[in-house]
Amino acid sequence: MLYLVPTPIGNLEDMTLRAIRILKEVDLVLAEDTRTSKRLLTHYGIATPLRSYHAHNEHATVTSLAAQLQGGANMALVTDAGTPGISDPGFLLVRACVQSGVRVECLPGATAFVPALAASGLPCDRFHFEGFLPHKKGRQTRLLYLAALPNTFVLYESPNRLVKCLEQLIEYCGPERPACVARELSKLHEDLRTDTLEAILKYYRQKDAVKGEVVIVVGGK
């Protein structure tokens, strides 16, 4: 069995009882960053062995891990925060498991875009999840596509690129398009700001430094 175990995006209290139990019971925990996951496991008294599994080694390790799972091992996959596979490593191993007949179970739990979308005040009955935009090649094409969507769309962005991203969204969507920027979700200094793209850009241009994971929610055309 391969378990996909969501981990808190900020607040450690968002770890579910089931997730804690699974992490204690499996033979091995595959972690995006073992240092980050070690702190989480230690907090909950979990002594299960950790092994590194991230974007730089997943192609090289996926076959051997799938073989171990076929042989009867039970493993849990975690990332630094949120649900594995959502803009994080996980897809390759899940696909290998599905193709080789290994059962995959994903626990419900934390993922950053859901609370940002739900609390934004923008329509969320239908939406498009884009994740991270390409840094260079293909970025313009994706922005053109997103700007024309009739439904709300959701982006992930790094804090140091937030202002530039907002400037580009204004270029393609217009300054009056409604949007929300959500930062530090579930943490002490959680910040959700819903306004026009122009007003949100003005706010962040005045801030000395932006910290924390960033989710951008933009209303449809």
**Statement to judge: residues 38 and 120 lie in one domain:** no
68 and 147 co-located in one domain: no
Pair (34, 117) in one structural domain? no
pLDDT digits (tens, 9 = 90+) for 40-68: 999 999 999 999 999 899 999 999 999 99
Same domain, 38 and 72: yes
Residue with tokens 């969204």: 169
pLDDT at 201 over 90: yes
Calculate mean pLDDT across residues 209-217.
90
Give pLDDT tens digits for 180-192: 999 999 998 899 9
Q: Is 45 left (phi over 0), alpha (psi -120 to 50) or beta?
A: left
- Mark whether 139 and 194 lie in a shared domain: yes
Q: What number is the average pLDDT over the span 16-25?
A: 98
Q: Are residues 82 and 158 in the same domain?
A: no
Pick from 106, 128, 147: which residue ends a domain?
A: 106
Closest CA to 109 of 34, 178, 8: 8
Q: What are the pLDDT digits (tens) for 103-122? A: 999 999 999 999 999 999 99
> CA-CA distance, 116 to 183, in Å (whole number)?
9
Q: How far is CA 6 from CA 17, 63, 90, 109, 118, in A?
A: 12, 23, 12, 5, 19
Token duo for residue 114? 């859901």
**Residue 213, pLDDT above cutoff 90:** no
Helical H segments across the chain, by residue range: 17-25, 34-43, 58-70, 91-100, 113-119, 139-147, 162-173, 197-205
DSSP 26: S
Q: Is the pLDDT of residue 210 over 90?
A: no
Q: Are 158 and 215 in contact (CB under 8 A)?
A: no
What are the CA-CA distances from residue 35 to residues 12, 30, 32, 42, 137 (Å)?
Answer: 16, 12, 9, 11, 32
For the chain, the domain total comes to 2
Domain that holds residue 170: 113-218
Whether the predicted pLDDT of 90 surpasses 90 = yes
pLDDT of residue 82: 95
What CATH code is carried by the domain that includes residue 20? 3.40.1010.10
- Do 134 and 55 reside in the same domain of the chain? no
Render pLDDT for 130-179 as a digit per residue (tens, 0 to 9). 999 999 899 999 999 999 999 999 999 999 999 999 999 999 999 999 99
- Please tell me whether residues 120 and 101 are part of one structural domain: no
Q: Is there a single domain that holds both residue 36 and residue 96? A: yes
